[in-house]
């Protein structure tokens, strides 16, 4: 009788230990899946916000002349009155870049924060500026009072390349360079390529290494990472090309 009791206890303990191991595995898998889903959602939100502004960059209203003909408005003066619809700055080595976009305010446009512009810019321009600070992708919109606000958290890097169109025997081609390589030719930018690197919130022993936005293999640090790329054509801008 005692032997049977000992065997039963051993079997029961084995079942409990197996169940605990299974539960731990399921919890770990759920955490990994949750982190991966959160990273994808953040990447989607960030790229949607940036893409929405880039797709409209350089858009100018049509106005009617007294004779009934139409022309493009000359009210738009570029981001922060620079004359350019797209501008950017390289971060210091290994640091995130910044990206600025603008279009003419048509009376209904909204910036990256969903705001209308200040009174002084209404009818003239709608500015948005994206940057990274404190691990967050932020946007400075067209209202000075609103300041820079967070779009998504958990951002490790934000790199921007600018495509200059050239026409050859094979058709149009793009040469992508960073802001310094562009050498001030902002009027010739026809496309923008974004790389966004995000980091998960939880530690996962099985997390793998990743090739980051700088093109370097980043060693595993116990967290999930998501590197997302997107290229946006500036359909409202007609660059001179080279």
Return the biggest CA–CA distance within the chain: 109
Q: Residue count of the chain, please give it.
A: 242
**Does residue 95 contact residue 106 with C-beta atoms inside 8 Å?**
no
Q: Tell me what pLDDT residue 88 has.
A: 95
| DSSP states along 116-159 | PPPGGGTTT-EEEEEEEETTEEEEE-S-GGG-EEEEEE-EEEEE
* Tally of CA atoms within 13 A in the half-sphere of 126 that contains its CB: 24
Q: What separation in angstroms does the CA of 227 have from each of 195, 208, 210, 214?
A: 7, 13, 8, 11
pLDDT at residue 168, as a whole number: 62
Instruction: Answer for the pair 186, 87: CB distance below 8 angstroms, yes or no.
Output: yes
- Range from 57-66, 83-92, 211-220 that averages highest in pLDDT: 83-92
pLDDT tens string 128-160: 999 999 999 999 988 877 888 999 999 999 999
Burial of 77 (0-12, 13-18, 19+ CB in 10 A): middle
Residue 213 near residue 226, CB atoms below 8 Å: no
Mean of pLDDT values over 167-177: 73
The phi-psi region of residue 93 (left if phi > 0; otherwise alpha if psi is between -120 and 50; otherwise beta) is beta
pTM: 0.79
């Amino acid at each position: 009788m005692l032997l049977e009791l000992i065997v039963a206890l051993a079997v029961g303990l084995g079942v409990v230990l197996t169940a605990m191991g299974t539960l731990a595995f399921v919890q770990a898998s759920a955490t990994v899946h949750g982190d991966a889903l959160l990273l994808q959602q953040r990447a989607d939100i960030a790229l949607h916000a940036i893409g929405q502004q880039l797709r409209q960059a350089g858009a100018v209203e049509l106005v009617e002349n007294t004779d009934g003909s139409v022309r493009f408005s000359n009210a738009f003066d570029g981001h922060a009155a620079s004359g350019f619809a797209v501008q950017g700055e390289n971060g210091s080595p290994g640091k995130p870049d910044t990206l600025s976009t603008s279009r003419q305010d048509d009376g209904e446009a909204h910036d990256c924060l969903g705001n209308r512009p200040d009174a002084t810019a209404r009818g003239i321009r709608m500015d948005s500026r994206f940057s990274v600070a404190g691990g967050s992708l932020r946007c400075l919109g067209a209202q000075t009072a609103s300041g820079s606000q967070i779009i998504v958290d958990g951002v490790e890097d934000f790199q921007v390349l600018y495509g200059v169109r050239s026409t050859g025997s094979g058709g149009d081609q793009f040469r992508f360079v960073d802001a310094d390589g562009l050498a001030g030719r902002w009027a010739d930018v026809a496309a923008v390529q974004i790389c966004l690197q995000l980091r998960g919130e939880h530690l996962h022993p099985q997390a793998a290494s990743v090739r980051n936005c700088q093109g370097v293999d980043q060693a595993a640090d116990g967290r999930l990472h998501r590197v997302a790329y997107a290229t946006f054509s500036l359909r409202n801008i007609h660059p001179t090309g080279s």
